[in-house]
Amino acid sequence: MSKHYKILIGKIFFILFFSFTANISFADTTAADELAKSLNSIHTMQANFEQSMVNSKGGNIGQKTLGSMKLERPGKFRWEITQPNNQLIIINKDKSFLYDIDLEQVVKRKMDYRKPGNPAMLLSSPVETLKQSFKITKLNNSKTGSWFKLTPKTQGNGYQWIKMHFITGQLRSMQITDDLEQQSTITFNNIVLNKSISSKMFVLTTPPNTEIFDAE
């Protein structure tokens, strides 16, 4: 929808314009609140995942990624890749750790939830941060469940939008389109919600010879 409108004929056009934009704003607010309600109902989540990527023409990029994830909202996240390589991402409050198991290297970073730059940060971010960072709309073309589209309010995030798909309160899939029009699809299965997760799952433990790079 264009940001600027020209009123050509009298008050009637102004009234119609004001009414239309007010309805759009209300719809956006409702979508954000509905997404917040869905996310707030998920205190913890455990699942297996499959991730694949296609280019702008629909051609496959790379290999399918398999692994498992654990989430405790807000601020705790574990993303463990088992195929085609072994990598582990852990987020614990204000720190993130990317552990390449095969290379025996860890990259440590400070978290900034005001600038969610990947799905891990997105899922572990407080709901209010999502509302501040994204324009949230609900898509009405799905026959099953609810789709929400999150468009960053600022540029430089590396992606154009993220879509989240919920069925009966469960987050079933996510789609991310980056600045190169490449689309990544993450599908969750074997989902377990709101079951206690050991705090050890969100603490990185590595062998003594592991290299640690501080990227803060």
- Residue 119 has a pLDDT of 60
159-178: b or e for each residue (b if 16 or more CB lie within 10 Å)?
Answer: bebbbbbbeeebbbbbbbee
1 in a structural domain: no
Low-confidence ranges of the chain (pLDDT < 70): 1-29, 112-121, 126, 140-143, 216
4 in a structural domain: no
62 in a structural domain: yes
User: Using an 8 Å Cβ cutoff, are 38 and 166 in contact?
Assistant: yes
Query: In what helix (H) or strand (E) does residue 29 lie, and over which residues does it extend?
Result: helix 10-40
Residue ranges making up the domain that contains 169 = 10-214
Instruction: Tally the domains of the chain.
Output: 1
Q: H-type helices in 41-148, by residue range?
A: 119-124, 127-133
Closest to 92 in 3D by CA, of 119, 111, 65, 64: 111
103 in a structural domain: yes
Amino acid found at 108: K
- Residue 202 has a pLDDT of 94
51 in a structural domain: yes
pLDDT tens digits, residue range 159-181? 888 899 998 888 999 998 988 88
3 in a structural domain: no
- Any idea what the CATH number is for the domain that residue 116 is in? 2.50.20.10
72 in a structural domain: yes
0.85 surpassed by pTM: no
151 in a structural domain: yes
d(Cα 19, Cα 2) in Å, to the nearest integer? 15
Write the CA distances from 139 to 54, 116, 214, integer angstroms.
22, 22, 40
